[in-house]
Amino acid sequence: MFEELYGYKSIYLDYSVLFEYAGTPVFDDLLKLLAQGLEVYVSKSFKALHYCTLRIKDPKDRNTALAMKKICSALLAEHKMHLIKELETFKVAANITGISDGCCILTTRHSIFTKRLYEKRPDFGCDIAIITDRSLQVFDSVDSMIWSFPPPEPSKLAYNNSYIESFGNASISDIVVTENLEKYELVKRLSGGAEGMVFLTDKAGRLAKIYHKGIINPLRWAKLKKLTELGITGNGFCIPLELLFFRNAPVGYTMPLGEGKTLGTVFDGPDAILEAFPQWTRLDVVTTLLSLIEKYLYLHMHDVIAGDIQLKNALINSPSEVYLIDMDSVQVDNLPCPVGTEEFTDMRLWGKNFAQFVRQLRDEDYSIAMLVFSVLFCGLHPYATRNGAETLREEIINHNFPYNYENDNEFIPIGGYDHIWEYLSERLRKMLYETFRNGISYEALEWLDAVVKYKEDLENFVYDDPEAYKVFPKESYNQVSVDVEAGKAAIKKELEKKQAAHAVHAPANSNNQSPAMKAASEQTAVSEPKTAPVTANPSANPDDMPQAFGKPIFEKKVFSNAPTGKYVPRDQVPGQEEEMEKRKKFFGLF
């Protein structure tokens, strides 16, 4: 199906192609295309989204991990895979445009990258190939792509105010059935609300949500059906799995059981968080945040926008056990999310009827930024201000973000929040300040990348001050302290152990290696991390990791941060220019 791409010398490969088509004939055709000697470029999102996929551990994504192995095996050995070290769409676009031998972007219609192209409309100097329904369409610009595939309009169901009739309320001891006639007994009522009730069923780990009469409208039922068709069963999603019927009428759906307390209950200031998790350090807070962002990005990869992001819509049992709940209201494709919380919603959307427009990823970027601040600050709102305006709404409208780079603002709430700000990474402080003071928007992937780096710094004991590792730095609360020197010593010992093992397995005579092999082995030694995490991630399964992880990716000297689209070579080590030109330079992607 990729016959039209055989005339190109290089392609920019979006991760969505692997994610959506791994294990299908489309991916087999892609491997045949790559075997023609194409130069393949990927951005940092390629790695970031793949790690999200691996950590979610959805059984349906097993083919994606295998596809990554095949891609890396085919390209790395031949030095055909090149890394664009950018995440933000305009910067990625500038790098793609500057590829000297011409390039075609290969992506899918509903991918995160394609949606960002719709939102930002960068000017490319190359073609865009979109895989749709297992066919390929090539466009010479973003505008021509948008002309052929206009942005989705809200489904007509969004304007249908009727309700699907039910014939009786299912309750305890009643039997409800799925479309496949599988039976569930409602065993115990767990909770109730304005929409319906949630029950334990006779099947372990499975809940049933049963709606009240007059709640299920055509939009809601169509959305539930689409959500069940996605088949998401990965870690941490209390998402509709099967539609339920009672007396032949639609009544609700089944979903996985989530454990723990609501995030809003735990992240509610010092007393609440330290009572719930007295052994937590700052690393646990950041790990929780990372778990949440990964889940929202995983939804984005499935053409789902959460819409109503807020702390009460998640449960937490541990930093690595976080569950998204109340997921029947999300936006799927062109079926809108009808609800939203003003405090977590971009002001651009205030006053709109949420049920009657299709949200974009940029609409969720602000909510993700809100989530980042609220979790890092243990439940505090970014516009919560000491001695401020009468309402939070006024503070939001006026962008009265009380934090600054000097950390000397008298309007910062007391209780340790000024010190949380003081000990954040510089990158996160900059992003939060620019967002909430100056209204600058960062993409969700940029937030993910910043949080990952902050987590790595904490794991690797980059900060010398022990206060940086406390949930509430410089406060007298009863909280765990971290021995920084002991942590650094453990890391050093582990690093020495790795270096010793590497030396034992090194070839006896490295001078006999080919130039390419010699360059690769030198890069392996150079690219060892300065420090290694003190504890391994218990959620990471080595069997799930592609064999190519850790191998270098060949990088041409064409990448830069220049926003103009023209490439400026990266700095090279003095005296090595000629040698680097001969052998090029290796960079580790995974």
Q: How far is CA 49 from the centre of its chain?
A: 6
Lowest mean pLDDT among 92-101, 199-208, 263-272: 92-101
The residue that leads in pLDDT, 543 or 241, is 241
Could you tell me if 434 and 312 lie in one domain? yes
Work out the average pLDDT over 79-106. 91
Count the neighbouring beta carbons within 10 Å of the beta carbon of residue 254: 21
Structural domain of 325: 261-442
Query: How far apart are the C-alpha atoms of 484 and 468, rounded to whole Å?
Result: 10
The residue that leads in pLDDT, 488 or 568, is 488
Domain-embedded: residue 329: yes
Contact 292, 364 (CB under 8 A): no
Domain-embedded: residue 282: yes
Domain-embedded: residue 416: yes
Instruction: Name the range with the highest mean pLDDT among 298-307, 418-427, 535-544.
Output: 298-307
Q: What is the pLDDT of residues 394-418, one digit of tens each?
A: 989 999 999 987 766 778 888 778 8
Could you tell me if 245 and 313 lie in one domain? no
Work out the average pLDDT over 29-57. 94
Lowest mean pLDDT among 71-75, 348-352, 567-571: 567-571
Collapsing DSSP to helix, strand or coil, 116 comes out as: helix
pTM of the model: 0.86
Could you tell me if 403 and 544 lie in one domain? no
**pLDDT above 50: residue 250:** yes
Query: How far apart are the C-alpha atoms of 451 and 427, rounded to whole Å?
Result: 9
Long-range contacts of 228-234 (CB under 8 A, 24+ apart): 228/253, 230/302, 230/304, 230/332, 231/60, 232/58, 232/60, 232/298, 232/302, 233/58, 233/59, 233/60, 234/56, 234/57, 234/58, 234/59, 234/61, 234/298
Could you tell me if 548 and 423 lie in one domain? no
Domain-embedded: residue 487: no
- What total of structural domains would you count in the chain? 3
Query: How far apart are the C-alpha atoms of 81 and 555, rounded to whole Å?
Result: 7
Could you tell me if 106 and 191 lie in one domain? no
Contact 75, 40 (CB under 8 A): yes
Q: The domain spanning residue 227 has which CATH number? A: 3.30.200.20
Domain-embedded: residue 412: yes
Angle at which helix 282-301 crosses helix 112-120, to 10 degrees, equals: 80
Residue 503's pLDDT band (cuts 50, 70, 90): confident
Q: The domain spanning residue 400 has which CATH number? A: 1.10.510.10
Mean per-residue pLDDT of the chain? 84
Lowest mean pLDDT among 125-134, 363-372, 507-516, 572-581: 572-581
Question: Which of 381, 416, 442 is at the close of a domain?
Answer: 442
Could you tell me if 136 and 44 lie in one domain? yes
Contact 532, 460 (CB under 8 A): yes
Could you tell me if 127 and 230 lie in one domain? no
What Cα–Cα distance (Å) separates residue 228 from each residue in 233, 240, 328, 333, 566?
Answer: 10, 6, 10, 13, 46
Question: Which of 399, 424, 442 is at the close of a domain?
Answer: 442
Domain-embedded: residue 464: no
Could you tell me if 113 and 248 lie in one domain? no
Phi, psi of 458 (to 5 degrees): -70, -45
Query: How far apart are the C-alpha atoms of 14 and 42, rounded to whole Å?
Result: 7
- Token pair 């990791």 is found at 545
Domain-embedded: residue 479: no
Query: How far apart are the C-alpha atoms of 165 and 386, rounded to whole Å?
Result: 51
Could you tell me if 309 and 391 lie in one domain? yes
User: For residue 304, which amino acid is it?
Assistant: V
Could you tell me if 265 and 247 lie in one domain? no
DSSP-assigned beta bridge partners for residue 406:
none
Query: How far apart are the C-alpha atoms of 534 and 485, rounded to whole Å?
Result: 12
Q: What is the pLDDT of residues 40-51, one digit of tens each?
A: 999 999 999 999
Query: How far apart are the C-alpha atoms of 184 and 354, rounded to whole Å?
Result: 34
Could you tell me if 322 and 276 lie in one domain? yes
Question: Which of 403, 418, 442 is at the close of a domain?
Answer: 442
Residue 505's pLDDT band (cuts 50, 70, 90): low
Work out the average pLDDT over 193-217. 93
**pLDDT above 50: residue 343:** yes
Domain-embedded: residue 498: no
Could you tell me if 265 and 408 lie in one domain? yes
Work out the average pLDDT over 89-105. 88
